[in-house]
Amino acid sequence: MTLVLWAHAKVNPGLRVCGRLPGGYHELDILFHSICLADRVEITVRPGEGLVLEVDGPFARQVPQDRAPEDNLACQAAVAFARWAAQQLAEGQAHSRGKAVAGPQWAGPSRAPAAGQVEAGARALRAVLGGAVTLRLTKNIPAQAGLGGGSADAAAVLRGLALLWQKKEGLAVPGSALAAMAQSLGADVAFCLQGGAARGRGRGDVLEQLPTAPAWWVVLARPPVGLGTADVYKAWDSLPRPNETGEEAGPLSCGAAGPRTNPRFAGAGGALPGPTDSDLGRIVDAWRRGDLAAFSSSVFNDLQEPALRLCPQIGAVRAALLAAGAPFALVAGSGTTVWTACSGQDEALDIARRLQSWSGAGGAAPVPAGTWVALSRLCEQGVVVAAGEQTGAEAGEGVHEQQVPESAPVPAPVASSEE
């Protein structure tokens, strides 16, 4: 039994870091939007017992093959679902015998499960689905790129296992249960499960659904290097604090709007403000009106400055995008991808062609050799179940948008798409 899903990437038109939370997390106020770039996630249930991860596709080498399954977020999602479903079976059996269920209620893992938990999860998967589970990821989304590829895969695994469970047991998995599993795995997983457009608070996992933006075309450019999310947040923690007048030593540069004062520190002593509704509200209002100019002048990302400090190549990509005519050039999530939006395909293609022609050296703004350049569009869904294997209409748009449509000669990735 095999199920195929498309796991869509995301961008963040607005990302405000509001401060620190207990446990090492950061308080965020963040906007998410799905894009059509997608990984293919195939879930197969076969006779036997085990949880197997297979990875292929353009960015397969960015997913270390020598790591244990518990280090992969998709496997963690499978374990989380298996534990939940096994508990439901146990409760059902106990209730059918008129007994109360002993033990604490499952709340999901807060960290990566240990190897023993993966093995236990595999046994639970056999119990709830009737066999061993193989997860096959076709990686079209680059890793450590700020596009949420790993989180999208995990969300697709949750959705897929829920559908397989429903087919076997005849019972739908409550949306609240899936949301709780996703939240336990990470803020981006919670959004990718929901998809479309949303505002996230807290760790970014307390979501408010928003109307989606127009299907603007998106140009994506990623230098041949990745950044770990934890490293970027650590760099944010070490940014200069404001002086006694409240002026910040290193103002952020956001999009094409030029330097702006980062309001995450307000007043003397660097007191942290609450969520900034006006900044995020301007972005949402602009996309609701379909006003790309207003949208472009409003987008921002507080993680852009620390990402630039850690990876100067990002700055070269940003400069090249703006020189190529992009209305803005913003780091995606914690980086290293830089993105912009265009109202039409022709404009997006022109910008991408210029980036490709400037690869390595020369041109108005040289692009680092090996930079990956691709087109996509803003879209309305996070996880899409393929119609059939991989040829259905829903699947086709999701996976092929990450490349240029066949009618367009360029751009393809500038150089190698693998690190």
- Catalytic site residues? 10, 188
333 touches 148 (CB < 8 A): yes
40 touches 390 (CB < 8 A): yes
Measured CA distances, 185 to 3, 153, 289 (Å): 22, 12, 34
Measured CA distances, 213 to 32, 137, 189, 217, 243 (Å): 11, 28, 21, 11, 38
3 touches 289 (CB < 8 A): no
Beta bridge partners of 197: 33, 210
Q: In 311-408, where does DSSP find H-type helix?
A: 313-323, 345-357, 393-400
CA atoms within 13 A on the CB side of 168: 19
35 touches 8 (CB < 8 A): yes
CA atoms within 13 A on the CB side of 145: 33
* C-beta contacts of 90-98 below 8 A and 24+ residues apart: none
301 touches 273 (CB < 8 A): no
Cα of 43 vs its chain's centroid, Å = 20
